[in-house]
Chains A and B, each alone.
Chain A
């Protein structure tokens, strides 16, 4: 993996959905993107259904929704996204199936950076936040992966990262407990790590604290409700040590050292 942000073609484009696959409560949408470049791990796209975007619960959705790219073909002819139905926009996207139209803008944002000082990469994900770790794993070639889920049903998505270690809140699959327990195990074995994490804010805050205490560098992929994805709306700001930054153009990947806390960061528009 090398280089920085891959630029997006200007303007959103209509692409066809090629396949829809369910993993527990999650849906993976695979779409063609013949006109787009190959994204980098950590970059994201703004998505909307081409039809019936609006008219759902409370006449929503209206704005497009931001999704980290899950996987991309090397020639960028196909993209995949991991979606969890948590509101009117994600619900509509989860309904899409092969042949339906998807409106797409991207790739957007800052990708993950390579590990520093020959450190071993360790990928830590929670829930739908495992998405950018799948393409990151493809880019890195090999990396240890720790994933946390609510229960065994949600942990069905762990098959997207073969060989990962899983923790579930209810013990229904893998380790009974938090993914941060697994992170502490790994750090005891080998602290010469660089952590790449994406997941709910509470999980990211624990990861940040554990890494900060041990001087382990960490890159966190964050989420915040955003209207545009390209710096226009100023809605997705996150507080850093240098003041607010827009997650869409200065993130979504932020070095953990820039943050005083992940608590209360962002909320998806759903």
Chain B
């Protein structure tokens, strides 16, 4: 398969992972170095890093749905210092470019994270998780175009590395947020994050998840992802990482036809850690079929 360029990063193929759906360090414990030899993604997006360590939400954290799942994990991570000391050296051993996903509860926190990674040569790009509230304004950073623009204005001057804004689908006007991000200097957007959802325990009628609500993912959200990628493409001209319920090459091709430049596989990796490779090869075949015969 021919490589692709994404924000100046060379990728061997258009399939990456969705943040928080593949822990390459844990996977290496389970599969050994075969993971590196058969790494399923052309770029690796690490799980969200916050300034301080987080334990994550109390269990239960998962609930199976028709065609998907609901999760309330709560962004457990070692915090910035722990990530730099333990995770970054291990992730630097991966055979693909590393994109670090960061989240802060204030613009200053996001700035701290962006500045910390700006000088690290192991990091190819940063993805900003804007699905959390700004505790200073009470607004979800990615739910309002002005909040998103203000965040980008704060962090854009801190790095030359590509900044990818991970859009939340839980916003009233996602294309307006994408346009605001672009105008404020974002290099790309990625979408969709999980859609807020809830399940009740049948026996008790109480919330099934320890975090009460959670995020819906899997094939159940694929049509939503397609529509949001399509509408963001119409509103913005920067590259799009499309994701949401991708299970096969056809799903990835659909997202690309709707406007995505590259595609992320998320929940499907839970069902098969090698799903990314399969999706990439199926997509390559489809692109070959779709290409004009003059090669």
Where the two chains meet, the residues of A that have a C-beta atom closer than 8 Å to any C-beta of B are 5, 7-12, 48, 54, 58-64, 103, 105, 108, 224-238, 243-244, 246, 249, 266-267, 269
Contact = CB atoms under 8 A, between A and B. Distances in A.
A59 B67 CA distance: 7
Contacts of A244: 55-56, 76
Contacts of B272: 11-12, 103, 105
Nearest to A234: B73
Contact of B26 (A64, A246, A269): A246
A107 to B, nearest CB: 9
Contacts, number: 120
A54 B67 contact: yes
Nearest to A54: B67
Contact of A232 (B26, B59, B65): B26
A249 B30 CA distance: 7
A61 B68 CA distance: 9
Given A62-B69, A230-B30, A235-B59, 7 more contacts: A10-B38, A48-B271, A62-B65, A225-B62, A231-B27, A235-B73, A237-B61
A129 B68 CA distance: 28
A269 B64 contact: yes
19 contacts: A7-B30, A7-B31, A8-B30, A8-B31, A10-B35, A11-B272, A11-B277, A48-B271, A61-B64, A108-B30, A225-B60, A230-B31, A232-B273, A233-B21, A235-B73, A236-B61, A237-B59, A237-B76, A266-B59
B23 interface: yes
Contact of B273 (A11, A103, A226, A236): A11
A92 to B, nearest CB: 13
B85 interface: no
A231 B273 CA distance: 10
B55 A232 contact: no
Contact of A231 (B30, B64, B277): B30
B290 interface: no
Contacts of B22: 232
Nearest to B75: A234
Interface in B236-295: 267, 269-274, 277
A100 to B, nearest CB: 18
Contacts of B27: 230-232
A249 B274 contact: no
Contacts of B71: 227, 233, 235
A227 B26 contact: no
Contacts of B273: 10-12, 105, 228, 230, 232
A9 B34 contact: yes
Interface in B60-116: 60-62, 64-69, 71, 73, 76
B32 A7 contact: yes
A59 B273 CA distance: 23
A59 B66 CA distance: 5
B56 A269 contact: no
A249 B271 contact: no
Nearest to B32: A7
